[in-house]
Each structure stands twice: as C-alpha cells, then as structure tokens.
Structure 1
Amino acid sequence: MRLVVARCSVDYVGRLTAHLPMATRLLLVKADGSVSVHADDRAYKPLNWMSPPCWLTQEEGIWRVENKAGEQLIITLEEVLHDSQHELGVDPGLVKDGVEAHLQALLAEQMETLGAGYTLIRREYPTPVGPVDLLCRDQAGAVVAVEIKRRGEIDGVEQLTRYIDLLSRDPLLGKVTGVFAAQQIKPQARTLAEDRGIRCLVLDYDRLRGMDDTVGRLF
C-alpha cells in the first residue's frame, strides 16, 4: 500500500464530472490497483475513488487513474508532504468475536444456562436437514433441541422447527421440544417461536466467557 499526503486537486471525468479544489488530502494506492482520495473526516468513506481494474500513470505533478470504461480520476499535486510504501501481505480476514461456534462451545460447557438439571447429549447432532447445534435433556429427562444464533431471526426459528419435527419422529427420542438461543432475538422471531412452543433464551456472551463484571455493576 502506498500512502501519500499531499496538497492536491482532484477531477473525475466520466459519466459525470466532479471537482475537488486544492486542499491537503490522503491518497491511498492499494495493491489491487484501486486509488482513493480521503479527507480528515468521513470515517472510512473516501471523497473520490477509482475501483479496480484501473491503471495509474504519473506525469510531472499529475496522476491519471483510468478504468476500462475510459473514466478518469485526475489528481493534480501541488505539494507532497509524505510518500511511503508498505507491504501488508495477505490479510487473514475478519475474525468475529462471539460467532455461533463459540457460543455453541460455551453453552455446551455451561448447560445450567439453559436451566437447572439440563445435560448435554451431543453437539452437532445430525438430522437429514442439517445438524442441531445442541441436543440436550432437561431435568425431567425430555429431549430438547437447541438452535444457537448471534442474531435470532425468523429463519432461525423455521430451521429449529424443521429439526424438532424430524427428531420427534424418532421413537428413541420421543417428543422433542426446542430452545432458540441468541445474543439478540427480533420481536417477530420471538413471537413465532413462542407460538410454536419454542422457548427463547437471550445469551450474554461476556457472562458465558466469565467476563461479566459482577463487582463493578450497580445491578
């Protein structure tokens, strides 16, 4: 990635035209060929940019960035304050905290979150339409299917309903009930779940990880 801080003006010539008058800006040239122009506000959003595939040619004080459609981003440099290049390498991508697999593992280790007397039968219990996140028994010994989501929506309730219907046909399991567990559950999903006899459970990820500050809390 190349980082250039410069006083510059910018003209976009294409399906329509746009002009940025002379000012100090950050120019980003990425390994994918993209060029973007940033001010010291707007968070991540550039003032103007050219997405790849595009090509940068540099003349004396002028950058011309052109894409395959013939559109151009013309950057006129008055003064370059900083110019550096950095090899970032291949990015591993975003790893989200609290993904469903993490929630599933934590909940499997803390069955009491579901209720007193709950025991785990198996994680990823197979069915013809996909694996159930957790298959458990409640205090009375009845089988309970648990579907875990980061965000609980109607699709998740429908998914759990299919699991319950299939599992309940197995004479070894008997009548199976369900728990829809998520960090957030939308009102429509909760209404549908409760109408189908499925219990909803909101998960506190920090508490499951043992990071809930019970000492510093007022309540």
Structure 2
Amino acid sequence: MRVVIARCSVDYDGRLTAHLPLATRLLMVKADGSVLVHSDGGSYKPLNWMAPPCAMAEVEPTEEEAAEGVRTAWQVQHAKSEDRLRVLIHEVLHDSSHDLGVDPGLVKDGVEAQLQALLAEHIQTLGDGWTLVRREYMTAIGPVDIVCKDATGSTVAVEIKRRGDIDGVEQLTRYLELLNRDSHLAPVAGIFAAQQIKPQARVLAEDRGIRCVTLDYDELKGRDDRETRLF
C-alpha cells in the first residue's frame, strides 16, 4: 500500500462530475489498484475513490496546471468504464509504501450463526420450561433458525438477526405460513430475536402476533456476570 499526504485537488469524471478543491488530504493506493482520497474528518468513508480494476499513472501536469503550482498529476482510469480520477498534487508532505501481506479477513463476534448457537444452547432464555427441537429446521423455502417448544408443548419458530428490520419480519412470516400448514406442528407461534430491533420492524411483528426478543450477546456467551457487577 502506498500512503501519501499531500496538498491536492481532485476531479472525478464519469457517471457524474465532482471536484474537491485544493486542501491537504490522505491518498491511498492499494495493491488491488484502488485509489482512495480521505480527509481528516467528517466521515470514515473516502471523499472520492476509484475501485478496481483500474490503472494509475503519474504524469506531468499541463502548462496551465504547472503555472498554478501543480508538481505532478495522478491519472486514474477505470478498466471497464469511462470513469476517470485526476489528482493534482501541489505539495507532498509524506510518501511511503508498505507491504501489508495477505489479510486473513474480518472475524466477526456476534454474527447470526453464533447468536443462533448460543440461543439454542440457552433456549430457556425465551421462557422457563422451553426445549429445543432443532436448529436450521429445513423448509421448502429455506431453513428456520430455531424450532422449539414452549412450556405448554406448543411449537415456536425463531428467526435470529443481528439487527432486526422489516425484511426479517417478512421472512419469519413466510416461514410461519408454511409451518402452520403442517398439522403435526400447527399452531406455530413466531419469535423475532435480534440484538437490535428497528421500531418499524417491532410494530409490524407485533401486528402479526410475532413476539420480539432483544438478545444480549454478552449475557448469552457468559461474559455478563451478574453476581460481580456493581450495577
């Protein structure tokens, strides 16, 4: 990766046009060919960028650009479109290259599969006397995350999300419609479980008779020791 801090202006020409006036910015050129332009505030996202596949060349500025103080220009051309990025560099404050090697990728803690496994292991989180029937209960339209029995022996289908939105409620609704056609399971109730549930999703779920449960991942994983907490 090449990291450059420079006073520069940036022009993008493609599906739209955009201009960044002269300022000090962070320029990143990654091994995959992507070029990103960052500021020191406002957002974690780049102000402008060119995604791969693309090619970058450092070229001499035009006479007019040189007269305005431009020392060098970066010309970035996308390989599959007419999109172009031109960076006019007036002053370089830092320029270094680093071999980062192969990245192992992001390992997420608290993804849906982990939440599903933990809730299945601690199914009585949903109620005393509840029992697990099966994880990944297969149906004709896909697997239901958890099928379990409540204390009365009634069947309950549980859909698990990290962040619960309307799409998740719709998905569970389709599962319930299908499961309730099976006389061996019906009536099947539904639980929509997530670490965070959007208000609109909660309203829709409750309107359809679906119970909403907010999951505490730390508590399920055993990190939350209630006996040693001060509050």
What TM-score, normalized to structure 2? 0.77
Q: Which one of the candidate residues 116, 121, 136 is aligned to 1:104?
A: 116
**Could you tell me whether the CA contact under 8 Å between 1:125 and 1:133 is conserved in 2?**
yes
Q: Which residue in 2 is equivalent to 1:210?
A: 222
Q: Which residue in 2 is equivalent to 1:157?
A: 169
Q: Which residue in 2 is equivalent to 1:5?
A: 5
* Post-superposition CA distance 1:149-185 (Å, at most 9, x none): 1222232222222222322232332422221211222
1:116 and 2:92 aligned: no
> Secondary structure of 1:126's partner?
strand
| Separation (CA, whole Å) in 2 of partners of 1:49 and 1:95 | 26
Identity of aligned residues (%): 60
* Post-superposition CA distance 1:60-99 (Å, at most 9, x none): 9413314254845243344x44332112234344443322
Q: Which one of the candidate residues 62, 86, 91 is aligned to 1:73?
A: 86
Amino acid at match of 2:187: K
Amino acid at match of 2:145: D
**Could you tell me whether the CA contact under 8 Å between 1:33 and 1:54 is conserved in 2?**
yes
Q: Which residue in 2 is equivalent to 1:31?
A: 31
Q: Which residue in 1 is equivalent to 2:57?
A: 56
Q: Which residue in 1 is equivalent to 2:67?
A: none
Shift of 1:42: 3.4
> Secondary structure of 2:96's partner?
strand
Cα–Cα, structure 1 residues 121 and 70, in superposed 2: closer, same or farther, change >3 Å?
closer
Shift of 1:118: 0.5
| Separation (CA, whole Å) in 2 of partners of 1:145 and 1:87 | 49
Cα–Cα, structure 1 residues 50 and 131, in superposed 2: closer, same or farther, change >3 Å?
closer
Cα–Cα, structure 1 residues 126 and 216, in superposed 2: closer, same or farther, change >3 Å?
same
1:171 and 2:183 aligned: yes
Using the TM superposition, name which of 175-184 and 156-165 deviates more: 156-165
* Post-superposition CA distance 1:40-61 (Å, at most 9, x none): 3334344554554242225594
Cα–Cα, structure 1 residues 112 and 31, in superposed 2: closer, same or farther, change >3 Å?
same
Structure 1: gaps spanning 5 or more residues: none
**Could you tell me whether the CA contact under 8 Å between 1:50 and 1:73 is conserved in 2?**
no
Name the count of aligned residue pairs.
Answer: 215
Shift of 1:139: 1.1
Shift of 1:103: 0.8
What TM-score, normalized to structure 1? 0.80
Amino acid at match of 2:88: I
| Separation (CA, whole Å) in 2 of partners of 1:172 and 1:70 | 59
1:187 and 2:199 aligned: yes
